Amino acid sequence: MTLIKSISGIRGTIGGQTNDNLTPVDAVKFAAAYGSWLKSYSEKDKLKVVIGRDARLSGEMIQNLVVSTLVGLGIDVIDLGLSTTPTVEIAVPLEKVDGGIILTASHNPKQWNALKLLNEKGEFLDAEQGAKILALAEKEDFEFAEVDDLGEIIKNDSYIDIHIDEVLELPLVDAETIKKAGFKVVVDGVNSTGGIAIPKLLEELGVEVVKLYCDPTGQFPHNPEPLKEHLGDICKKVVEEQADFGIVVDPDVDRLAFISNDGEMFGEEYTLVACADYVLSKTKGNTVSNLSSSRALRDVTEKHGGAYEAAAVGEVNVVAKMKANNAIIGGEGNGGIIYPESHYGRDALVGTALFLMLMAERGGTVAELRASYPSYFMSKKKIQLTSDLDVDALLEAMHNKYKDEEVSTIDGVKIDFPENWVHLRKSNTEPIIRIYTEAKSQDEADVLADRIIGEIKEVAGLE
């Protein structure tokens, strides 16, 4: 059980002690800190904020606490109810409000929840803004509204439909082209809001949908992180149904993974590669992903005559780099697609539509598409942190050990070898060190990861 306070919000497990877990007291404190910061940041007399949540079990409780806290500060709230992270992100500018909060712990298991905080553009706060909110929460320096100045709650449950309409109106999405292809797709919505949004989008695009775990009860049928080891059911179902492919999303629908027609993983790293391939084939431009993402995006971008750049891990860092480099598509190798033509946020609905367009125009099977891309294999491992472990000193030791290689310290330590790479960094969302490697075969990637883990343990005295 733990509480993680970071510039992107607050994330923790439900129950337990205040300041150690995401208790009702902590939810109120951080909602009050966000609302108080917003009042100092904005020049308006009356503020309005959009709030939505995924379907996890604690969602309604946390939402009631957060909404009531903002109302107590004199802030009006547009309550979207069950929603997705990208839906809240597009609602903020469409409603011309001052900020947004998404109540979701993304891919974390059911005992977790979080407050993800947005600015008036519907984008995640920058480091400076996040730090100010953490400082306000620490001081508990809040001034609540008098009774005549309380905020009001406006309920609006139409935004998933509005979001779908926004996707259908994108210039590179043509519903008729997709309908003519006659796709059959299995959807694993992990019993959260993706089970509402993705099937609705597919039906609008004329796709035959087979639903798997699409009832938004919050009872996740498997670990909600869309990794191969958690997705045995949909891999079998795609083959049984003779479907064209499968779609898997995480509970808040900002990560997107595909299952090929043969029941194999398309590879979450290749979600962005495929979507970028389609967009770059229509529009010349640049791309961005994070340091932990596959080299395959660089290869595809250069094939289309564009330039690729790597950003520090974290959506806010990728977005900043995309804006600086005028990237026309970008994202993260965890299946997060950021397409600025829609909005600057990871969006599985946008990614789904772009992928369907690619398949409809290119023809062939999803397995054949995957085989057409440069072949890289990743290993994603982690080491659990203990309170006495000095992570910074450990990363510095690894940097020194490999100082003769090409090393980046933008975010943790990334060591680029000629044929492979390894990226070591402390997680923003869990008490772990992440060890990502990539190589030309799965065996090579796994061997490299295990070797580096052994070296880390030796340096840390964990052997």
Active site residues: 106
HEC readout, the chain: CCEEEECCEEEEECCCCECCECCHHHHHHHHHHHHHHHHHHCCCCCCEEEEEECCCCCHHHHHHHHHHHHHHCCCEEEEEEECCHHHHHHHHHHHCCCEEEEECCCCCCCCEEEEEEECCCCCECCHHHHHHHHHHHHHCCCCCCCHHHCCCEEECCCHHHHHHHHHHCCCCCCHHHHHHHCCEEEEECCCCCHHHHHHHHHHHCCCEEEEECCCCCCCCCCCCCCCHHHCHHHHHHHHHCCCCEEEEECCCCCCEEEECCCCCECCHHHHHHHHHHHHHHHCCCEEEEECCCCCHHHHHHHHCCCCEEEECCCHHHHHHHHHHHCEEEEEECCCEEEECCCECCCCHHHHHHHHHHHHHHHCCCHHHHHHCCCCCEEEEEEEECCCCCCHHHHHHHHHHHCCCCEEECCCCEEEECCCCEEEEEECCCCCEEEEEEEECCHHHHHHHHHHHHHHHHHHHCCC
